[in-house]
Structure formats: structure tokens, C-alpha cells
Amino acid sequence: MPFSLSWSLSTMDFMAKLRAVYRCGECGGSSPKWLGRCPTCSEWNTLVEELQSTGVAGGAASVLPPSRPIPIGDVDLREAASRSTGLPELDLVLSGGLVPGSVTLVGGEPGIGKSTLLLQSLAAMATAGARVLLVTAEESLQQVRLRADRLGALSADLHLVAETSLPHVLAHLGSLRPDVVVVDSIQTVFDPDLGSVPGSVSQVRECAHRLVREAKEQTITTVLVGHVTKEGALAGPRVLEHLVDTVLSFEGDRHHALRVLRAVKHRFGSTQDLGLFEMTEAGLTGVADPSGLFLADRRAGVAGSVVVPTVDGNRPLLVEMQALVSSSTLAQPRRCALGLDSGRLSLLLAVLERRVGIALGGMDVHASGVGGVRVIEPGADLAIALALVSSLTGRALADDVVAYGEVGLGGELRQVSLPERRLVEAGRLGFRRAIVPASGPPAPPGVEMLRASTLAEAIDLAAINSGC
């Protein structure tokens, strides 16, 4: 009887330490019972059941000693000196490199090149004298070695370990004491002490929290690779982005060689810098002249083609906008926007019909940006509208003309950000005239400004309105 009572009490004590909760896969909020809609973020069908520990064992050991307040002038900035990644485009986005003790989250679609980018960077840092560790939680050591052979990324100070268990990963960090560690990916790392499967909300949150704490305690520069959803957002709880210091988004089109790296969040610098890479057989290489790359295959004298100087972050880029307008046999004509905002295209079609008198309601309309870059800024409005009119009339713009400006609902042209950088970049590539809003800045040397107050005036300046 005493043995049975003791067994019963210990069993009840164990069961009391676990309880079922329903965790939201979008925001990480919890609910004691399943609901169709998350009470925290109002998303539908995102609650997943998981077991949560209610015990406090080990909680006291995980509490860090209190910090001592110091005057702000006594803070040693040498501890925040960044380390170059060995890739100039990556350093540009990171405002100089990786900061010791920082945690960076890199997200992107499967197969876009995240592992290639980080392996090249680790090899470059290892060659420069840093001790680096790659925790491959998805691929085998042989797969990583084959990629390193292809990229020429072999270095004696580049260490590999295939591990998914969080306690083992932390043990490797303690024994190797690396300067930089990459975990690929955070969704496949799990803590056996948690009562949930790898990739669940609680696993991703708790494993990321432990790795962040370890990075701060041991001053280890940590990079986490994250999966993305079909909408392009980082998978897992939203709190994951708040835990880290930097969030990088690696984007691109599988059918194009261009890759774009941008900082969504960066505690150590600006989020306005853009990194551009080209995927080659030898890996990712930085693009020194992206505007020249975008316009390399452009054909001059083609109706429906207009070059627009855009700005992504702080970086000016010249992109060719193309449009094709043709008669339609459908009751509802096609509207196709590739690499553009379909809502902006519909707005421009309405403005052309209502404010300029050019009706395209019965025509099939196709518009796209060339080069695999998505152009969503309003500064491309004027170029898209001119490309539509050019395709409709069959008259091409002059080869040395660029155009930029936001089109308002009243047909007026509005100024956009960083016009000087746009015009300087256009002049560098040999464009001598620019159709711009009337409120634009003075013209830079070598570029003539063709100012227009309305879209109709811009069409007249472009000399493409014959037959409209």
C-alpha cells in the first residue's frame, strides 16, 4: 500500500507538470481550448495543440545575475565592432558586417541560395582567421562538403556538425567556442524536454530563445536560417523576429540569376541598403553594376519599352518597364502584371481613360518589369503609363529618355524620394533626358529635365501620342 501510494503521488506530480494548450502558429499566442480564430491576432485556423510544462525545475539556474548600471559614456564601443563577412554585398546590408554576440535571422524561399550564401561567408571568415561552426540540421555532412568543393569554400577553421538536438548544439558551442555559428535551420532544431514536435511554435520559440541567450553570454555571433510561408513571411511565431537583432530577407526568382538581400530589421545600422547577387556555377557573386545588368539586353526603338530610375532602399536602379496592349476577343479583357503591383496597373488604366482620354477597357494589357526585380514603388507610375501608351500607338520613346514620377488620381504628377540619385544613375549610363514631375530638383550635369505637371503633358513630351 505505501509503495502504491508513493507511485500514485509521483505519477500525479508528473502529470501535473504537463498541460495541453493551443498555440497560434502566426503570433505565438495561447488559448486553453481550441478556437477557430486566434484571440490574439484574429487569424483563422492557426491554433495547434501542444503540451506545455507547468513545472519550475531549473528555472532558478537559468536566471542570469543582475547587471550593474553604468554611465552611457563608459560603454565600450569596441565590443560592438563588426566583423566583415567576406562578401561586400552582405557587408553593405549589415552596415559593415556581423557584430559579436549578435543574432541574425536569414529567411527566404527553399532553394533560393541561403545555404550557399552563408557557406561562402563562413569560408571567407574562416580564411580570415575566425573560428566558425556550421550546424547543419537539414543536410548531411557529405552534402555540405560537396557544395563547399564546388564553391571553393574549404578552410581548416570551418567546422561542421550535423545535429538537431538543442542540448547537443549548446554542448558543441561550449566545447568549440566558435566566433561565428550558423544554424541551418532553426525550424528543425528541437529540445527533447519540450512536449512538442520539431517545428512547432513552442519548439521554435524556446530553441531560438536559448540560442540567443547563449550568443549573448558567450559573445558568439549567431546566424539562424528560417523557413518562409507561401506568402513569403517568416514561418513560426512572430516573437522570433523580436528575439533577434537582425532579420534579413533573401529574395529572387528561380528562373533568373539575380538575388536580392535586404534587411527587414537591423539594430546596428540602416535597413535601407540593398545587396544584389548573381547565382553562378561558382556560387553567389556580388553585382557591381546592377543597372547595367538589367539593361544589357534591352532593344532600342521598341514600342512599349520605357526605362525608369527606381530606388530600392538607398540604392538607385535602372529598370526597363515593358507593356503590351492588344485587341481582345474576351468579354473581360486580360490584365497581367508581372513584377508589378496589379492594383497600381488598374489605377493607371483608369487615370488614362478618365483624365487623358485614352481608353484601354476593351484591350488585353500586359505589363512587367524586366530582369526579375519586383518594382512596387509609386515612382514607376509614369514609366508604366508611358509604356502603355507607347504600345497602343506603336511609337517608341527616344533611346536616351528615362521617366519617373507618381501619378495621382487627378492625373497630376507627384515628386518621389531621392530624385537626385535617380538622375545621377541615369546620366552615368548615358541617358541624357528625363521626363519628371514639374516640382523636381535642378538637373544634374549632362541630363536635360523635361518637366510635366500632368500625365497628359508627359505623354506630349514623350511624343508617343499620335493616333490616340
3-state secondary structure (DSSP) of residue 274 = strand
Spatial neighbors of 296 by CB under 8 A, at least 6 apart, are none
Angle at 13 between CA 8 and CA 14, to 5 degrees: 100
Q: Rounded to 5 degrees, what are φ and ψ at 194?
A: -90, 145
Q: Name residue, grid cell 481550441.
A: 34
Angle at 102 between CA 144 and CA 160, to 5 degrees: 20
**In DSSP terms, which residues pair with 249 in a beta bridge?**
107, 262
> For residue 166, how many other CB atoms are within 10 A of its CB?
23
**Burial per residue of 136-148, b for 16 or more beta-carbon CB atoms within 10 angstroms, e otherwise:** bbbbeeeebeebb
Radius of gyration of the chain (CA): 28
What are the Cα distances from residue 53, in Å, to 18, 34, 193, 195, 456?
Answer: 5, 18, 9, 8, 67
Q: Is the CB of residue 373 less than 8 Å from the CB of residue 398?
A: no
Q: Beta strands 132-136 and 158-161: pairing type?
A: parallel
The span from the CA of 393 to the CA of 379, in Å, is 23
Per-residue pLDDT of the chain (468 residues; tens, 9 = 90+): 444 444 444 444 444 456 778 877 767 677 888 888 888 888 888 787 776 655 544 444 445 577 789 999 888 887 778 999 999 999 999 999 999 999 999 998 888 999 999 999 999 999 999 999 999 999 999 999 999 999 999 999 999 999 999 999 999 999 999 999 999 989 999 999 887 788 888 888 899 999 999 999 999 999 999 987 666 666 666 778 889 999 999 988 777 888 999 999 999 999 989 999 999 988 999 998 989 988 988 998 999 999 999 998 888 999 999 999 999 989 899 999 998 999 999 999 999 999 999 999 899 999 998 866 788 899 999 999 999 999 999 999 999 999 999 999 999 999 999 999 999 999 999 999 999 999 888 889 999 999 999 999 999 999 987 655
- pTM attached to this predicted model: 0.81
Q: Is the CB of residue 321 less than 8 Å from the CB of residue 356?
A: no
The span from the CA of 461 to the CA of 449, in Å, is 11
Q: What secondary structure does DSSP assign to 54-90, as a single string?
A: ---TTTTTTPPPPPPP--GGG--GGGG--B--S-HHH
Q: Is the CB of residue 396 less than 8 Å from the CB of residue 298?
A: no
Q: For residue 117, is it left (φ>0), alpha (ψ between -120 and 50) or beta?
A: alpha
